[in-house]
Amino acid sequence: MNDRGRRVLLHVALAAAALVFIFPFYFMVIGAFQENPTNDPSSLFPIGGWTTRNFSDINSRVPLGTALLNSAIFTIGVLLGTLTFGLLAGYASARLRFRGRSVVFVAMLLVQMIPFQLLMVPLYVLLTRTYGLGDTHIGIILPFLVNTTAVFIFRQFFLGLPESIFESARLDGASELRTLWSIALPLVRPAFVTVILVTFIGPWNEFLWPFLITKDVTMQPLAVALANYITNVSQTASNPNGAILAGACVLAFPVVLLFCLFQRYFTSTDVGSGVKG
């Protein structure tokens, strides 16, 4: 009985903690569809006053379609870069013996120690002043092109494959490229889901860099556009709170959906190994 009571208590405590984590999402979704988002605890479960005007409101101030497209281009660019160059680098550092292999690995570790914030001034100078890449998709994508955590995850998965299958492939005369494509890749398919999840959230949620490098509203990803709305435009809107929550919903929805669908791939071992190396 005592043990049972303790387990009930544990469940209640965890449920209370989970509620604290989930509540702002509930508030966001409900408020986004309310004519007047509540600030009163007694009306947290509204029965009326539903509207979709908040979405058309924010759409009239922030071109949601353009902003979503820019976010999508940013994210897809980073995904493509990571799934090609990051995959190749992860495979090489795990499976191929070549001169400089350890140098590549040390470089990967060092990169994770340099904070982006130190690089933002020189990167801004280089990309906007020297290369003229301000307000371009390439300029937004470039600093994020290959996600190093993803390289670590690929490396970890390829390291986990038995050496014998590579030996027999080489004995059969398969080229390295063919070994990678037809033998190694199918075996690490779960790595792709993890890598796509981990890589997706980076550029989709990124604020600082696209904020620095875009002045042109038509080039801004949704995170930047929404932040500008929050700081500048919302004062003049009729229901700014509802519009902010509507924008927040649009920005949060794709990632939350993706995460809930594939959360079992977001496991501690995969991501942890990626972070720890």
Partner 1 sequence: MSTSTTSQRPPDDTFTEPQRSRSLKERLLGKQPLGLVFSAPYVVFLAVVFAYPFGLAIWISFHDYIFTAPNVSVPHPFVGLQNYVTALTDPAVLRSFLNTLIFLVINVPITVVLSIVLAAALNTGIRWASAFRVAFYVPYVTASVSLIGVWLLLFSQGGLINSILGPLAPDPSWLINSKLAMPSIAIYVAWKQLGFYILLYLAALQAIPKELYEAASIDGSGTLGKFWNVTVPGVRSATVLVLILAIITGANLFTEPYLLTNGGGPDGASATPVLLIYQKALQQTNPDVASAIGVVLVIAVGILSALANRVGGGSDDE
Binding status of residue 116 toward partner 1 by CB under 8 A: yes
Pairwise CA distance, residues 193 & 235, whole Å: 41
Residue selected from 12, 60, 132, 178 as contacting partner 1 according to rule CB under 8 A: 132
Binding status of residue 79 toward partner 1 by CB under 8 A: no
If the CB atoms of residues 165 and 275 are measured against partner 1, the closer one turns out to be 275
Provide DSSP, 185-247: HHHTHHHHHHHHHHHHHHHHH--HHHHHH--SGGG--HHHHHHHHHHTGGGGSSSHHHHHHHH
Task: Name the residue type at position 163.
Answer: E
Binding status of residue 86 toward partner 1 by CB under 8 A: yes
If the CB atoms of residues 98 and 189 are measured against partner 1, the closer one turns out to be 98
Burial grade of 209 (CB within 10 A; 0-12, 13-18, 19 or more):
buried
Binding status of residue 262 toward partner 1 by CB under 8 A: no
Pairwise CA distance, residues 195 & 149, whole Å: 8
Q: Which of residues 45-74 bind partner 1 (CB under 8 A)?
A: none
Provide DSSP, 154-191: HHHHHHTS-HHHHHHHHHTT--HHHIIIIIIHHHTHHH
State the minimum distance, in angstroms, from the CB of residue 53 to partner 1: 17
> Using CB under 8 A, which of the segments 45-53, 62-70, 84-92, 187-195 binds partner 1?
84-92
Nearest Cα to Cα of residue 65 among 274, 214, 228, 220 = 220
> Using CB under 8 A, which of the segments 62-70, 141-149, 155-163, 183-191 binds partner 1?
141-149
> Using CB under 8 A, which of the segments 47-55, 157-165, 187-195, 241-249 binds partner 1?
241-249
Residue selected from 80, 146, 158, 220 as contacting partner 1 according to rule CB under 8 A: 146
Binding status of residue 185 toward partner 1 by CB under 8 A: no
Binding status of residue 11 toward partner 1 by CB under 8 A: yes
Binding status of residue 142 toward partner 1 by CB under 8 A: yes
How many CB atoms within 10 Å of residue 4?
8
State the minimum distance, in angstroms, from the CB of residue 42 to partner 1: 9
Q: Which residues pair with 50 in a beta bridge?
A: 34
